[in-house]
């Protein structure tokens, strides 16, 4: 039996850097927990990619919610749901909060793009809602929550859209005023310079979350020193899986046998352990 998981709010309240790993399945989420991660990022990019579909508001809220809830059931650490733009307008956002809370998800992140959104790293024009409209969406989300535990992260794509740090700061201040529990500042720059500039000018009125996908050399320790509260490794697990599976399948097909890679892949007994097979078998004895 899994112990009751802590909420994301409780993790942040500890005052130590919270590290999240992106996942799209219970198996990946459990492996991340076993590796020491504090929380899981239920990545819309990963969930979409697992269906071989683009991260472009193609899947429905129900499909994303199902993935997040399956992960949460297998974990003793919290899941933070990447909820894109909130799946529509303010009514959709209120419904989203109710559904995720009911599923035991204690934190969600919504971004200030126009619905339908496209993945931040796609080479397209990324249009944003005006600041006031997104602040209203956040206020609706906070008003809809039924428990004190639910934690709302407001993500700005101002840097992704090329609007600069001044715009990111203006938006994040408005989002904090609207009730957001934390802000996520997203960047596709190759260094952490933009994020550091933001942090140097941020007044600390609420926690800051970062996603160092395109600036991977920035260490968790350095981020914490700069005042970051949580860092999300949003898609590295998926990318590692794709590379490993491709190489494994290619080698088996090439050789006509799996002998050469048997020492490099997990044993069946390791899979049994992840399935908690002993516990399930004990139910019959």
Residues annotated catalytic, as ranges: 55
Q: What is the C-alpha to C-alpha distance for residues 73 and 78, in angstroms, rounded to an integer?
A: 10
User: The tokens of 116 are what?
Assistant: 């339908």
Q: What is the C-alpha to C-alpha distance for residues 235 and 216, in angstroms, rounded to an integer?
A: 12
User: The tokens of 192 are what?
Assistant: 């952490």
Query: Could you tell me which of 211, 200, 207, 204 has the C-alpha nearest to residue 157?
Result: 211
Q: What is the C-alpha to C-alpha distance for residues 86 and 149, in angstroms, rounded to an integer?
A: 19
Phi, psi (deg, nearest 5) at residue 135:
-60, -40
Ramachandran area for residue 88 (φ above 0: left; ψ -120 to 50: alpha; else beta): left
Cα distances from 134 to residues 61, 99, 146, 267, in angstroms, run 19, 20, 21, 48
Q: What is the C-alpha to C-alpha distance for residues 179 and 174, in angstroms, rounded to an integer?
A: 9
Cis peptide before 116 (omega within 30 of 0): yes
Cα distances from 71 to residues 28, 66, 104, 234, in angstroms, run 8, 9, 11, 15
User: The tokens of 282 are what?
Assistant: 């004990």
């Amino acid at each position: 039996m899994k112990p009751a998981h802590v909420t994301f709010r409780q993790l942040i309240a500890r005052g130590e850097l919270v590290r999240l790993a992106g996942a799209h399945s219970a198996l990946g989420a459990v492996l991340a927990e076993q590796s020491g991660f504090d929380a899981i990022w239920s990545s819309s990019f990963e969930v979409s990619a697992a269906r071989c579909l683009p991260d472009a508001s193609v899947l429905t809220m129900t499909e994303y919610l199902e993935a997040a809830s399956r992960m949460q059931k297998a974990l003793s650490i919290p899941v933070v749901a990447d909820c894109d733009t909130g799946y529509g307008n303010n009514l959709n956002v209120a419904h989203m909060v109710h559904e995720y809370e009911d599923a035991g998800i204690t934190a969600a992140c919504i971004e200030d793009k126009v619905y339908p959104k496209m993945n931040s790293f796609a080479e397209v024009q990324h249009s944003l809602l005006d600041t006031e409209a997104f602040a209203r969406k956040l206020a609706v989300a906070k008003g809809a929550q039924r428990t004190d535990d639910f934690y709302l992260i407001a993500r700005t794509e101002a840097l992704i859209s090329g609007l600069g740090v001044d715009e990111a700061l203006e938006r994040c201040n408005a989002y904090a005023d609207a009730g957001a529990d934390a802000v996520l500042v997203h960047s596709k720059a190759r260094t952490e310079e933009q994020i550091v500039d933001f942090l140097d000018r941020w007044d600390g009125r609420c926690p800051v979350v970062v996603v160092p996908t395109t600036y991977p050399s920035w260490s968790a320790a350095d981020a914490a020193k700069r005042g970051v509260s949580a860092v999300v490794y949003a898609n590295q697990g998926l990318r590692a899986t794709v590379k490993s599976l491709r190489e494994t399948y290619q080698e088996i097909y090439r050789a006509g046998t799996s002998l050469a890679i048997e020492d490099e892949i997990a044993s069946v007994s390791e899979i049994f352990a992840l399935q908690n097979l002993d516990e399930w078998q004990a139910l019959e004895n």
